[in-house]
Structure 1
Amino acid sequence: MNDDKGAGPRAMAAQVLDAVLHRGRSLKAELAQALPSLADVRDRALVEAICFAALRQRARADAALRAWVPRPLGKRDGELRALLHAGFAQLDPLGLPPHAALDATVAAARLLGRAHQRGMVNALLRRAQREGLPTVPADAAWPAWLRERLRADWPDDYAAIVAASASPAPMWLRVNRLRGGRDGYARRLREAGIEATIADALPEALRIDAPVAVASLPGFDRGDVSVQDGSAQAVADALAPAPGAPASGRRVLDACAAPGGKAAHLLERDPSLRLTALDVDPRRLERVRGTLARLGIGADAALRVADAAALDANGPGAWWDGVPFDAVLLDAPCSATGVVRRQPDVLLHRRAADLDALRAQQARLLDAAWRVLAPGGVLLYATCSILHVENAGQIEAFLARTIDVLPEPLDDRFGRVSGAGRQRLPGEGGMDGFFYARLRKR
């Protein structure tokens, strides 16, 4: 490897990690901003892999720095600390060739304006190569308040949740049934040298255990396929009309739609849906628009920048025309504790105090969604959380204050019974953690 060429991606990974570790930034947002500047898809994949691996083993790297650096790194050493995290991650768990990882990471120190600290970087990485990083408890990166909640909510599954959340996730695909069948697309993948597994419980799903670049997926740009975890794909099944009920022409609300994968899935299954998709963030709503455009669907969908709970016709931001919906999907804002394996920075940024605000927001959205639902209609409440207070507890409170609601049971395709809904824990069936509750209006 050319060390100078390899130094660029390492320096970028350090800058991304510095923003996430020390300035409270979102990993997804930082990568979205940084990666397009890299022309080589292999460099983009390397930066992404380093960042995810470094965040997943953050506690081990921090333990190494505490033990091996006589004088603790200061506030101005954020990029240096992040570069060391990136270097450790390349050795373990990524297992890159040590000479390439060491030489390019040391060279990256110069690109970051830290040429005078190259010796320190070299020495620490070589020690990690010789000794390995210190062993820490599996849950060391989890904040104490969250460990306590998980142990209380899932005492028998706690260790499995922690282990699954620290493991790389497979790549799940959703085949666009308007463009062809799943079996046919699986053959196209094999012809492209990509092995995928058919998930029998999900009609459009394929799983790739060794994720590949999106650009390598046949027909992705034409809308033949999308990347969407199996748990998220199951939403369309949970919201499906009951047997014998009319499916076509339903008026459907996706109350918190961005980035648009679930709305797109519903339209792929039934293009006749009269879909309204809301999101409070105009930039995120543009992602919904882009998702539908890539798939060639939803030309008649109503996309509105709005707070789904703003129903007062005379109030600011009111969006509802008073015509009820046959079905409402409320994929509610939540703690994201079920997707830590995809968003490892959740463990850095989530605070116990956040839960009170999230629970209040979820309750407000639930009440508003119920108000716009037609009698006989179905509301699906979903989160990517694994905390009872946001899931079974939230639905229990809603049932207690709502007189015209009938919970409808979901089967074990959606996980284990949890109150009036179903809960899948991280890694079960190879999927993310997710909660589903299906509620019918009497």
Structure 2
Amino acid sequence: MTANTASVERMGTGDLMTLASDLGVPPMQIAGILVLDGGSGLDPTTVRKTVAERARGIRRFRQRLVHAPIGLGRPYWSDDAGFAIENHFRHVVCARPGDDDALLAVATDAVTARLPRDRPLWAVTFVTGLAGGHAALVYVVHHVLTDGIGGLAALARMADGMPVDDDPAFPRRAPGRAQLFTDMVRDRADAVRALRHLPGRIVGGLRELRLRERSAAPRSSLNRPTGPRRRFAVARADQKAVRATARAHGGMLNDAVLTASTGALHRLLRARGERVNDLVVSMPVSTRGRDAGAHLGNHAFSVPIDLPAAGETLDRLATTSWLTRHRVGKARGASGMLVSPVFRLLARLRLLQWFVDHQTVLSTSITYLRGPVTRLSFLEAPIRDVIPISTVKGNMTVSFVALSYGGTLTVTAVTDPEQVDDLPVLMDALRAELAVLENGEGRERG
């Protein structure tokens, strides 16, 4: 390898499964909305320059995905010599009245627009004209670049006071065919040496896949074919109060999010005249170390778990806490080794899209991300709120992604507007569930 030539940074197993799953619309992209207190006074040119400067400290933000020639191994990441912030930044004035719904409409357009594959897979929209003189930064990244935890860590590095580790060697020359071939041979040799661990990993993977009690989700209107559009809505709660209630019932904040979300879905289904007492939930479990931002990519795997949806909120919280502790707590990601090759094979056979569009294994997906405890700032404008966004697909008309930041728990409902025309019913139910969890007492009503 000659001087200033990049080493080969291959995609991991989780990345490959994500790439294979990115079929149809909307694309598999995630977003974070950073609401800036009084940020409408910021100069868009200064904001763009600051984003460009701080992106230098996130190596993947200046790399593009490259497919290796046939026979030379998995896709890899390569420095984008033509990187220009103008390809990743735009300024939008929010429509009146500049409230949550108007901001979410801008974010919807941003996260559902497919990022070009010939450049680094991220973009940011600077939104001014929000109510109260606020502004927002809507960061969008493709899911193949990172999972939610890694994306959150990357966003935190855009805040004031974070170190920017510049890369003086950028841009490195892309690896040549000989280097790709040598790396592929080394990779294959490592795989052969790892075969002695294969039986144990298969057993572990099968155990994880058998964490659930049923082979299919209960039949309900939650499982319907989804279209290209998405609609988002947000509910908030006091993080400290909800966490105290969760701990009093043997759980953590993640258990409270699961409880509130499944309870809200039960109320929604009941309003539709459907009787479903349990739901099968896909929840992510991270295999990351302490420094979540050290390496991007996908280091989380989904675990299906049967959870109660009917009954008193606090009773369900206790049950959910026990289930996640004794079942999901045993999962270590071995199932990804079994699932990823299957997904990639289905993609090659052009069957994955059909499988995704017709799955009835899962009722919904619920993700919780733990954000910074203290509030951050951007160009000295306090980041007053962080709203998580995802574009979950897979025949699920409703899913949830939640984030705790600066003392506030924010839960975003992700819906297909063609299938969910009763979103206000869902959000009223979600806020009612969160209110019970905030108070730590009370009875479920309705």
Q: Same fold (TM over 0.5)?
A: no
Larger radius of gyration between Structure 1 and Structure 2? 1
Greater relative contact order (Cα < 8 A, sep 6+): 2
Q: TM-score of the superposition, structure 1-length normalised?
A: 0.25
**Greater strand share, structure number:** 2
Which of the pair is proportionally richer in helix? 1
